[in-house]
Amino acid sequence: MKQIAVIGAGTMGNGIAHVFAQNGFLVNLIDIAEDSLDKGMATISRNLDRMLQKEKINVADKSNTLKNIQTFTDLVRGVQEVGLVVEAATENRTLKLDIFKQLDASCQENCILATNTSSISITQIAAATQRPDKVIGMHFMNPVPMMRLVEIIRGYSTSDATTQTVMQLSKTLGKTPTEVNDYPGFVANRILMPMINEAIETLYTGVGGVSEIDTVMKLGMAHPMGPLQLADFIGLDVCLSILNVMHEGFKNPKYAPCPLLANMVSAGKLGVKSGEGFYDYSESRKAEKVAARFR
């Protein structure tokens, strides 16, 4: 399995493509918009430049990584000859189900279909295909080139062979795969998102301010960044989407999104990517500095 496809050239998609290409895989990076592909490739090039400056790679490594990536706007052409597809599109159930129906119809019979979803049921996604045994979750962490964890999620019908293949594949990328079962939020977000939501609730009820809440968690709990800053970095819309999936899946009010979070998303205050969230990122250089610290 040396040729793979990645669906989506956004933050997660270009990071996943980067990691596979840097480890010698031929990558077809697919997106519906040429502009998104151009931005994704530019991000990969910048991230490789940072690694070059830190002497983690050499000039040949950068050149070979970029040569290993081809871009496509045609999904059918991009997935025809690959052994693995990793879907990293927007965290929207309807969109993902539609993509997996297309992948099932277009990919080779033995191709494994993986999703980078952070909360949506693998079992439900697999049910949109005729190969549920070959559907699995590969939840990479952001930023993908730096973070070692890959949360491997088995759906109800995911086979042992598929799981073992994907676990081993993750190790060849220099990652640490951790197998978990298919329940809303899996492990990472089932624990993380209620903490972020509670931090937002603490702000909403006036217990503390933004910097005070983050300072308590950074200095008192040894977190590398506070939960409100982390929410900005993840994207408040993504946080809201994950909490909604968990609230719907468990029918438990403890997962209900804080009204402040919902209002901020409605107002377009999404964090770093929109220029404003719990912190102000209105200057592009300031936003880039914040993001660069965690690449």
Task: Name the E strands within the chain.
Answer: 3-7, 26-30, 69-72, 84-87, 112-115, 135-140, 149-154, 176-181
Q: What six digits make up the tokens of 162?
A: 């598929």
* 207-to-77, 210, 211 alpha-carbon distances in Å: 54, 10, 12
Residue 5 annotated as binding site: no
18 catalytic, yes or no?
A: no
Among the listed residues 116, 121, 189, 197, the single catalytic one is: 189
149-154 and 135-140 strand pairing: antiparallel
Residue 134 annotated as binding site: no
Residue 121 annotated as binding site: no
Let me know: does 86 contact 170? Beta carbons within 8 Å: no
Residue 273 annotated as binding site: yes
Among the listed residues 118, 119, 197, 241, the single catalytic one is: 118
| Spatial distance between the Cα atoms of 15 and 50, rounded to a whole number of angstroms | 14
Among the listed residues 119, 121, 139, 274, the single catalytic one is: 139
Residue 211 annotated as binding site: no
Residue 55 annotated as binding site: no
Contacts of 256 (CB under 8 A, 6+ apart): 243, 247
Residue 8 annotated as binding site: yes
Length of the chain: 295
Residue 91 annotated as binding site: yes
| Nearest by Cα to 6 from 95, 80, 79, 101 | 79
Residue 101 annotated as binding site: no
Look at the alpha carbons of 85, 91, 95, 98 in this order and tell me if their dihedral is positive or negative.
Answer: positive
118 catalytic, yes or no?
A: yes
Among the listed residues 151, 170, 197, 276, the single catalytic one is: 151
Residue 12 annotated as binding site: yes
Residue 11 annotated as binding site: yes
Could you list the residues known to form a binding site for NAD(+), using ranges.
8-13, 31, 91, 96, 118, 142, 273
Binding residues: 8-13, 31, 91, 96, 118, 142, 273
Give the residue numbers marked as catalytic: 118, 139, 151, 189
